[in-house]
Amino acid sequence: MLKRLRHRFSTRQLLVPFRGRAGLAKLAVRSVGHTFPNEVVALRSVDIDFHSGQFVCLLGPSGCGKSTLLYALAGLVRPSGGHVSLDGREVTGPGPDRVLVFQEAALFPWFTVRQNLVFVLRANGVTRSEAEERARAFVRRVHLEGFESALPHQLSGGMRMRVSLARALAMDPAVLLMDEPFGALDARTRAHMHELLQSIWMRDRKTGGFVTHDIREALLLGDRVVVMAGRPGRVLEDLEVRLSRPRDPDDTALVELSRRIRVLLARAERASDSPPPVSHGQDEEDRDDEAVPRPGGVPDDAAPPVGAGV
């Protein structure tokens, strides 16, 4: 008991409210609200600064507006209130400076791995020789050498996602946006993707926005974790993660921080006007699952905990 309390105290400084950073944010979200035509208020008064080189995870329960916010950053959704700006210029539509990676790898099935990269680079004005060179380099970066001539259907789901990631990185966007990119992968493949993404990030330090509803995934990858709540979608906490990299999903400090965020989210759920989460007959503080509690306490079968079964 005493040991556990001491451990909790020692990890306190590893997850602190983000106090901002001097200078212009790379991507700034100011008072963003969004109401869909069916009158669903997906977002209300959202303010977030994505600073250059920071990897920001957006974490929250299903339906809290994570994707809507990410699409607003990508310029695919025009928020009904507030604005998003990149380097001080208002975002009014999609552009090659913000690449979005989805849960599905979305590769051209008739193109090989190499052609999938080259085609998109060429379409964005890169010369053929430069596109070929970048394709080679980024296929190597995601450890797919030897598969350059393979077609997408000849690859596993994890390999396809690596191609999708390589293609996005090869575009060298100012901001890389990802919407639950590893949500459809099995736990082991997902853990490999986390390792890969961490190593790429430690090298490239690109500005990133990563949507997830997996608490441990957010802590593993994020320099910051922006915790959102639903009804209407809003920011609950903007937290800075001070764990050193590379991070280990089984690190006791990371597990302790994930417990703290889960407690925070459970409290937000209880405070909202929906039915409270179903009790599992266990003290909330002592449980250690990593998925964000779903509205009504429905377990999240779609997203197994990071590292589970590995």
Ligand X SMILES: Nc1ncnc2c1ncn2[C@@H]1O[C@H](COP(=O)(O)OP(=O)(O)OP(=O)(O)O)[C@@H](O)[C@H]1O
Using CB under 6 A as the criterion, which residues of the chain lie in contact with ligand X when the complex forms? 36, 38, 40, 42, 60, 62-68, 213, 233
Q: How far is the CB of 215 from Mg ion (least distance, A)?
A: 16
Of residues 29 and 243, the one with the C-beta less far from ligand X: 29
Distances (CA, A) of 149 to 31, 57, 127, 155: 47, 34, 20, 11
Q: Which is nearer to Mg ion, 67 or 164 (CB)?
A: 67
- Residue 222 touches which of Mg ion, ligand X, none (Cβ within 5-8 Å per kind): none
Residue nearest to Mg ion (CB): 67
Rank residues 170 and 215 by Cβ distance to ligand X and give the closer one. 215
Q: Which does 181 bind (CB under 5 to 8 A by kind): ligand X, Mg ion, none?
A: none
121 vs 161, which CB is nearer to ligand X? 161
Q: Among Mg ion, ligand X, none, what binds residue 183 when CB lies within 5 to 8 Å by partner kind?
A: none
Rounded least distance, CB 67 to Mg ion, Å = 3
Nearer to Mg ion, 131 or 291 (CB): 291
Contact positions vs Mg ion (CB under 5 A): 67
Least distance between ligand X and beta carbon 192 (Å): 23
Distance from C-alpha of 138 to C-alpha of 166, rounded to nearest angstrom: 5
